[in-house]
Amino acid sequence: MDDNIVLQKSLDFALRIVKLCHYLNETKREFVLSKELLISGTNIGRHVKAAVGAENRDVFISEFGIARRRALETEYWLLVLFHGEILTELEYNSIESDRLQLVKIISSIISTSKK
């Protein structure tokens, strides 16, 4: 996976999400929102992986589109956790910068693929 930047970044992001959700469960005793975050945050990489293995360009673009939507869902859950004062500003900004970087890469791939 090291040779595919978007696959590696989506895996790294998913692992950060898993660790964050573990922290939210164990330290903050927050279970419902963390589960939503876990689902959306790890599904980004799932759809990136499906896109990379797609059998045609339409499926490739569609899977990346789903990955982008999952990244937007993840943004929502992170905002709820931040504004709900479950995540600190430092915690939120750290993971949000990674999420935003991933969205930019995915959006660029979609844009280039549609041309």
As given in the structure block, the two tokens for residue 52 are: 């990379």
In contact, 47 and 70? CB cutoff 8 Å:
yes
Burial 76-114 (b: 16+ CB within 10 A, else e): ebbeebbeeebbeeebbeebbeebeebbebbeebbeeee
- DSSP H helices, 53-88, are 57-83
pLDDT band at 2 (very low <50, low <70, confident <90, very high): low
Q: Does domain 5-114 have CATH number 1.20.1440.60?
A: yes
Query: Residue 86 and residue 60: Cα distance in Å, rounded?
Result: 36
**pTM given for the model:** 0.93
pLDDT digits (tens, 9 = 90+) for 26-72: 999 999 999 999 999 999 999 999 999 999 999 999 999 999 999 99
As given in the structure block, the two tokens for residue 98 are: 């990674």
